[in-house]
Structure 1
């Protein structure tokens, strides 16, 4: 199963690292919240972490700096070159076929692959491979796009189609898959993982931040806005009914 050419072209033309680290309020919110949620459940360093679909290494670099032994795997060759240039261990590979022995990592991160696997069988293989290579009791953390988010921040005609089907074809890029939160629970369970918790990453302030960004023409909305958004996201962690207000979901499960 080869990487679809449109996926490689999409990431070759963009700046995945900059999306999270360029100072944009929405990017900073996603970055801080993802790290918050992972920090609460990751085993202590120097645990061995596999970052599947780790892109140019934003999260892997943070984990390595915290003392973890990190291996990054990504299907986009440009991303692997960027990660290696930062001194990270990085290889080209596919989330559906991990080239590692059973139970060889203490935690596995899937912080991107599920977006690009529109077929249920492909997602099932990615989950199963993550479970296979994580040790018993180890963590599997999987990010997904929330299928209802576009109804909250977009008036584009495809918003209802995405909410209904989970699929978002793009004329300028790959088809993306958007999950229902319950679907993440079900996929993790079918893979043999337990204790799944699903969190909204950006939290209930996300639609307002998106609107503010567009209205102001600025991507940096200021520290006060970021602090309020982070507080709202953390508040929503204990209120599952607010999960669907986030663009990104993060499922945390164990083998």
Structure 2
């Protein structure tokens, strides 16, 4: 994560001064983001995981990324890493996209990554929620949510995305 995925996912992304991370889970990326962002807030739905993240130098909110408890235009960047596939269905993913856009400032960036479907990916999620995101369809879905300048790219194991809330 530290040397490959996160640098690749955020290559060329200006996070600005107020970053929101959606679904950090155990916080592997959160700790790395905290060193890059002047102000970081993490939203985690799992109460146990949220509690474990507290007191690490960033704000932690227990909440649902499809119903964010923040005012419009609060953040300069919204990010999420390997969590979109944990949402129960594409409609929930689309609600997350709409919420990410809502809480971004005009000109703010939504960026992140997720896994591509493979045998290993399927095996990791045998007893877990797995709603893969099609990286080819993602630009259209983000545009529908109101983003502009949508870009995606893939590697053999993952895809990354970035999009801007229009000014």
- 1:86 is matched with 56
Q: Deviations over 1:85-106 (max 9, x none)?
A: 4232111111110000001000
Aligned positions, number: 165
CA distance in 2 between partners of 1:67 and 1:118 (Å): 30
> Per residue, is there more strand in 1 or in 2?
2
Aligned-partner SS, 1:95 = coil
Aligned-partner SS, 1:180 = coil
- 1:252 is matched with 162
- 1:176 is matched with 130
Q: 2:69 aligns with which of 82, 88, 99?
A: 99
Q: 2:21 aligns with which of 26, 33, 51?
A: 51
- The Cα of 1:58 is off from its aligned counterpart by 2.4
The answer as to whether partners of 2:147 and 2:163 remain within 8 angstroms in 1 is yes
The answer as to whether partners of 1:83 and 1:90 remain within 8 angstroms in 2 is yes
Name structure 1 gaps, 5 residues minimum.
1-19, 21-27, 160-167, 204-244
CA-atom RMSD in angstroms? 2.4
Rg larger in structure: 1
- 1:128 is matched with 98
CA distance in 2 between partners of 1:96 and 1:187 (Å): 15
The answer as to whether partners of 1:95 and 1:113 remain within 8 angstroms in 2 is no
Name structure 2 gaps, 5 residues minimum.
none
State the TM-score, normalizing by the size of structure 1: 0.58
> Per residue, is there more helix in 1 or in 2?
1
Runs of 4+ in 1 over 6 A off after TM superposition: none
CA distance in 1 between partners of 2:86 and 2:33 (Å): 24
- The Cα of 1:48 is off from its aligned counterpart by 0.1
CA distance in 2 between partners of 1:100 and 1:85 (Å): 21
State the TM-score, normalizing by the size of structure 2: 0.85
